[in-house]
Amino acid sequence: MVTSKFGERYDRNFNTLSLKEQKRLGASKVAVIGVGGLGGGVCEMLARVGVGHLTLIDGDSFEASNLNRQLLSEEHLIGTPKAQAAKNRVNAINSEVIVKHLVEYVDESNLYERIKDADLVMDCLDAIDTRFMLQKAAQKASIPIVSGAIAGVTGQVTTIFPGDKGYELIYGQKSRKQSKGVETMTGNIAYCALFVAALQSSECLKILLDRGDILRNKLLIAELWTNTFDIMDLV
């Protein structure tokens, strides 16, 4: 059992995780960029499993259209900054997690500073342009990215390490203006968002603990209407 003021908090993590691994998670630092549909689920899972330091970044506030899928949104929170709600949720789940929340949008001017002290960054964004900016900043900070995206009931996950081509292999070269993805036309369903958030959280733990198979230079695509799951080699 991990020494904790809650004593039994992590009992059900064992023996999937060892005591050494649990302590390693407690010392790990993860930045989550975007705490909406994907990021809200990621925050929930990382806090429960015991990742000790979370930086939660989102400049948006909840609106009624978020209620169909975003775990952290509630009717009484309409108008509340998502980053603040994410911090409150993490604190309610696991008060031992050290949380830094930033109510701001990220771009080339601030991304590196926001993620440079993290061990890993979770891409829960919805804009392709910003993903390319994130990859540039993560490469400068020498940290990996776990990226998720959803559209309707289709989701994808990949992991990008410094030096990898990453998003270029998925979206093509960044030679033109690229903004929102296909989800602006398809919508997003709650269970797909949480499914992909779970896959991202799994990738995060595998990287932090250096175990298991990761999706580096691979793209996992899940289509939930047909229960189709494919892993594509990107190189």
Q: Mind spelling out the 3-state secondary structure of the chain?
A: CCCCCCCCCCHHHCCCCCHHHHHHHHCCEEEEECCCHHHHHHHHHHHHHCCCEEEEECCCECCHHHCCCCCCCCHHHCCCEHHHHHHHHHHHHCCCCEEEEECCCCCCCCHHHHHCCCCEEEECCCEHHHHHHHHHHHHHHCCCEEEEEEEECEEEEEEECCCCCCHHHHHCCCCCCCCECCHHHHCECHHHHHHHHHHHHHHHHHHHHCCCCCCECEEEEEECCCCEEEEEECC
User: Cα separations (Å) of 129 from 20, 45, 106, 136, 176?
Assistant: 39, 27, 11, 11, 9
Q: From the first residue on, what is the mean pLDDT of each consecutive set of 10 residues in the chain (235 residues)?
A: 63 93 97 96 97 97 92 93 97 96 94 97 94 96 97 96 94 64 69 96 98 97 96 92
CATH superfamily of 18-233: NAD(P)-binding Rossmann-like Domain (3.40.50.720)
Q: What pLDDT, on the 0 to 100 scale, is given for residue 2? A: 44
Q: What pLDDT, on the 0 to 100 scale, is given for residue 235? A: 82
List, in sequence order, every residue forming a beta bridge with 199; answer none if it has no partner. none
Q: What pLDDT, on the 0 to 100 scale, is given for residue 59? A: 95
Q: What pLDDT, on the 0 to 100 scale, is given for residue 40? A: 96
Domain coordinates of the chain in residue numbers? 18-233
pTM, 2 dp: 0.92
List, in sequence order, every residue forming a beta bridge with 54; answer none if it has no partner. 30, 99
